[in-house]
Structure 1
């Protein structure tokens, strides 16, 4: 399935709707170990991104332009920590598919992996530190392994979604090495990281998008 800018407009709309539906839940998770606004920040960022991407003319704009528009809009809407992280993610995705008018399965997976890498680089986080990297990295690794072995896009993102959920659940038993939660020591054990939770939602939206009937 070739993915065009029009498809990416649909994808960003899916992500924004799923984040909006989970906004209060994400704020609750963040309230336990952070300042309680993660859901609001992600909702604002995704809402801004979807508007910016929707404003492009899909006949004129290449996928890179869609990712770059999303990056800029997300950053403008969210000054907090998730803003620069997702802005970097979308910029990296755009750079990974530069000069392509449409994306094949492998290119789309490559853009996805570039997002995960961008988040990890920008946040300087490693898996196991109770951050969104705990969902993003295993998901990207799973998708890359699957596409290398000839799996369909649907299979790649089914595995990515599973890995993201497992990674997100695993943050419950971790202490935090980064951000506000790191000051709480062992008190954060038993709580899921809100960044990993929102990452798992986004990755699940991408998995939904990768199913043939959404193509």
Structure 2
């Protein structure tokens, strides 16, 4: 069973990963976006870490809902609402339970990813964060590490795809040959989850 501390560590581990990879995320965003994905994600997850330290929630659902609200209020562009929706919906589905099972988390993440797809009007293959999230969450039934690996593979698989949604879609054929930054940051989130699960 997973308690609030597990979820806080997931968010702070994600914040550390985003800090480490912020320059690469911006580099990926430069040719097909606004060259601000790294700085936006860094600002957002730094704020999440501060919020969780200031007033630590006592349930898994509350941790994710606070993280989601913080991202929506601090991250510019599309990333804030989309990541905020992912975490808030996942947290809402976990409810008020003090501890949740791995199966509870998997089902809640499915709901979160579905909410992201609905909000963004995107599907796997559109060269968005869903290209990492959908295979990643599907692989949770195997293990957390499998989920992280599947998300990373999904992000890499966006390179040859023509973007059909998001800022990159404005570039048409020129979006081909670039890895999607949103899929890349989504893979970081699931890799952080795997790292925390592996740590026990």
TM range (shorter): over 0.9
Count matched residues: 200
Secondary structure at 1:210 match in 2: helix
CA offset digits 1:96-144 (Å, max 9, x no partner) = 110211111211222332332222121111011000000001111121x
Query: Which residue does 1:149 correspond to in 2?
Result: none
Whether 1:110 and 2:107 are equivalent positions in the alignment is yes
Deviation of residue 163 (structure 1)?
A: 1.4
Equivalent residue for 1:170? 157
Superposed, which structure 2 residues align to 1:1-215 within 5 Å?
Answer: 2-58=1-57, 61-143=58-140, 146=141, 155-211=142-198, 214-215=199-200
**CA–CA distance in structure 2, aligned partners of residues 64 and 158 of structure 1:** 22
Contact 2:62–2:96 (CA under 8 A) maintained in structure 1: no
TM-score, length basis structure 1:
0.88
Q: TM-score, normalised by structure 2?
A: 0.95
Measure the CA separation in 2 of the matches of 1:137 and 1:208.
19
Are the aligned partners of 1:56 and 1:66 in contact in 2 as well (CA < 8 Å)?
Answer: no
SS at match of 1:172: coil
SS at match of 1:86: helix
Once superposed, what is the RMSD of the aligned Cα atoms? 1.3
SS in 2 for 1:71: helix
CA separation in 1, counterparts of 2:162 and 2:96? 42
TM-aligned CA distance change 1:119 to 1:185, over 3 Å: same
For 1:56 and 1:129, locate their aligned partners in 2 and report how far apart those are by CA, in whole Å: 38
Partners of 2:193 and 2:120 lie apart in 1 by 22
